[in-house]
Structure 1
Amino acid sequence: MKIVKRSLGTIALATTMIVTVSCKDGKKVEEAAPVEKEMNNNEVMTMNTSKNVNAEAILSDYFNLKDALVADDNEKGKELGLVLTKSLQELDVSSFSDSEQNELKDIIEDANEHAEHIGESDINHQREHFKILSKDITDMVAITGTEITLYEQFCPMYDGGTAWLSTKEEVRNPYYGSQMLTCGKVQREIN
């Protein structure tokens, strides 16, 4: 019996050390702080308007969805996933070159599929789809551009390493929410 207790103690200690080393600041569980919204209705995100004003709505809806995941709010995530599908479908690509139009259409089709899944899933499944959605939105911004500074943030713990976009430099992790609220780092700035 002593051997079993000693073995369990060793396993628990090793697990604690791995978790502590794996995440920034060594914090596994953090108190859920009030989440500030990325954007509010009075705030206008300035996009490259000569290219597309609808990309602004997509980014706004994306950041609202991210905030719901940060807050561990499954129902709000469902609602905002469906809102995002509508803004994705309204993206006007006519002002872009033929190759950019084709690329944007592919990106939007894929992003729309993931936003639909988010609109009907539990929070863990929402986060799985948010990973790919984040890549799609990043790819969209590479084409549409933005006049505001975005921060691509990265969590090394989620699914082998995962990125997302934010308008704030401060990390608020949508993949773990209150479990590891600040796990991650700014990977790059996008201007």
Structure 2
Amino acid sequence: MLNEVPSDVPSPIDLRQLTDAQAWAETALAKRPDRPLFFARFAQGLREAPALPNRRVLELGSGPGFLANHLLQALPDLEFGYVALDFSPAMHALARERLGPLSDRVQFIERSFKAPDWTAGLGLFDQVLTHQAVHELRHKRYATELHAQVKSLLKPGGSYWICDHWAGPGGMSNDQLYMTVAEQAAALREAGFNQVEPLLNQGGMVLHRAS
């Protein structure tokens, strides 16, 4: 049928289960050794952003706390409230363990960004970050709506930092789950972001900043 809606791509693991979450966390860096380069670029962005009072940062799909741990250690003198949003209680448990005392600087929210009302009650943020999580929408057709929801959470002048795998030669083969670099930028513009800038493309992942 010409108008048939493509099916979501099922996940091979259930990240809500502790065993699956632990297995993913244990292999993530080995599979993507360039992840620290992206973490450093996120940190650079936060460091260079205006030091506003009551600064708030939201991480979508925060997982086992890799990015949060890097940012909170790399920026000890930077004052900001960090909100970690993930649908998996197992991932939050791993993040708390990884962060240790740093977890006192983090508000953990168990919520799925696939839910239509996931933004409810979160308030506004100066920066929204997401690393290797947008594809967990399980189909790329949902990306524009997610980005529009993020835009509604940004304060005036705020920025959205999005890193994910890309589809194409040298990248991922599934072009229903993953977008090309051009498709990623187009989805952000369709969501209402006027400025979309690719900052880092390495190891099959790309980081965009949108505002």
Fold shared by both chains (TM-score > 0.5): no
Which is richer in helix?
Answer: 1
Q: Relative contact order (C-alpha < 8 Å, sep 6+): which is higher?
A: 1
Q: When the two structures are superposed, what TM-score results if normalisation uses the length of structure 1? A: 0.32
What's the TM-score once normalised by structure 2's chain length?
Answer: 0.30
Higher Cα Rg: structure 1 or 2? 1
Higher strand proportion, which one?
A: 2
